[in-house]
A = this chain, B = another copy of it.
Amino acid sequence: MKKKPGLKDIAQEAGVSTALVSYVLNNKKEGRINKDLAQKIKQIARSLNYRTNQIARSLKTNRTHTIGLIVADISNNFSSSLARIIEDEADHHGYTVLFGSSDENDAKFERILDTLVTRQVDGLIMAPPENTENQVRILQQQQVPFVLFDRYYPGFQCNYVALDNFGAVYKGVTHLINKNRKKIGLITYRSSLFHLQERVRGYVEALNDNGIGFNPERLKEVDIIYRKTEIETAIDDLLFHKDPVDAIIFGSNSIALNGLKHILKRNISVPDALEIVSFDETDAQDLFNASMTFLRQPMLEMGQTATRILLDQMNKSKTPQEIILQAEMIHVER
């Protein structure tokens, strides 16, 4: 890579000091600088195709104008949609995004976190996997600004923006019961992550509150990095049972996708034989040609809020913002 032109090169060509060039290009000391000279300097900068060396600037100013984003997997629709929203919001404020995918793996999460902090990101937005609370606490002690999204640790005061998972599932179950379904299965992730526990709690509590009672055989938990067969088995267990379910709630877009595929293969009639409620409406699911209900997460709000809180904290440290958003229940009739 050829050596790039620097302030020095411009200064030399203009016969002035680098300081002056810096002032001109940053529009500082506007009143004081000779207008013609300023024009000339800008002209030379343009002709040399000069671009600020942001690395050098960052070293001096202690600001990189970069934010770090740690998602579970950028290739997943949930993560990439959020990434896009965050990118736009960050961009509006002059920030660029460095990202990494944790694969729900704590060691990888730590590594990425380290890499990003090392690169002096001004702040972080992240969805921490299991067993990372300690890392995040250390981050907080070091006063690196960050906002969690999607997940958080109960009793750990810090910025986060997450869904009311309890409420979402509760709403879903209640909806199904109102549709006269009483044998409701839930396929979600097996995890100690609080927000996922909340789903199970919402499921159990909604059943109890409606006098149905929780049947453990209808709660199917798959690994957070699941194999397709896990979901297929779960569905088969729920359906080809002496007392089969008449409704299933899917815990994520990806579970829903694989679940629906399998339901298609098994030739189950939806919604007659089986009502479906799914987290995370994605437009892909529209291809499944049957009525179903979605628990839509307010992605835009989640992404924008997370970014705004972060930008806020980066400027003036304020008290932690703990934001819980509600899922919207959408019924799609077909």
Residues of A whose CB lies within 8 Å of any CB of B are 1-2, 4, 49, 51-56, 58-59, 64, 66, 73-77, 79-81, 83-85, 87, 91, 96-101, 114-120, 122, 138, 142-145, 257-258, 260-261, 264, 282-289, 314
Q: Is the CB of B66 within 8 A of A74?
A: no
Bound CA–CA A73/B143 (angstroms): 33
What is the total number of copies of this protein in its complex? 2
Q: Is the CB of A53 within 8 A of B285?
A: no
Instruction: Report the minimum CB–CB distance from A259 to chain B (whole Å).
Output: 11
User: When the two chains form the complex, which single residue of B54, B96, B288 contacts A287, counting CB atoms closer than 8 Å?
Assistant: B288
Closest residue of chain B to A85, judged by CB?
Answer: B75
Contact B55 A64 (CB under 8 A): yes
> Which of B54, B122, B143 contacts A2, CB < 8 Å?
B143
Given known pairs A54-B120, A118-B54, A287-B285, the reply for A4 and B59 (CB within 8 Å) is: no
Chain B residue numbers with a CB within 8 Å of A118 are: 51-54
- Chain B residues lying within 8 Å of A282, measured Cβ to Cβ, are 284
- Let me know if B96 and A97 touch, CB within 8 A: no
Q: Which residues of B contact A73 (CB under 8 A)?
A: 84
| CB pair B284 A66 closer than 8 Å | no
Most buried by B among A49, A285, A289: A289
Q: B51, A117: Cβ atoms under 8 Å?
A: yes
From A283, which residue of chain B is reached at the shortest CB distance? B257
Could you tell me the distance between the alpha carbons of A138 and B49 in the complex, rounded to whole angstroms?
9
Partner of A80, one of B75, B91, B143, B144: B75
18 additional A-B residue pairs with CB within 8 Å, beyond A84-B101, A91-B100: A1-B122, A49-B138, A53-B59, A53-B118, A54-B118, A55-B59, A56-B59, A59-B59, A73-B84, A74-B74, A75-B77, A75-B84, A87-B101, A97-B99, A97-B100, A261-B286, A261-B287, A284-B285
Residues of B within 8 A of A49 (CB): 138, 142
| Nearest CB in chain B to that of A122: its residue | B1
A115 and B90 CA atoms in complex are apart in Å by 13
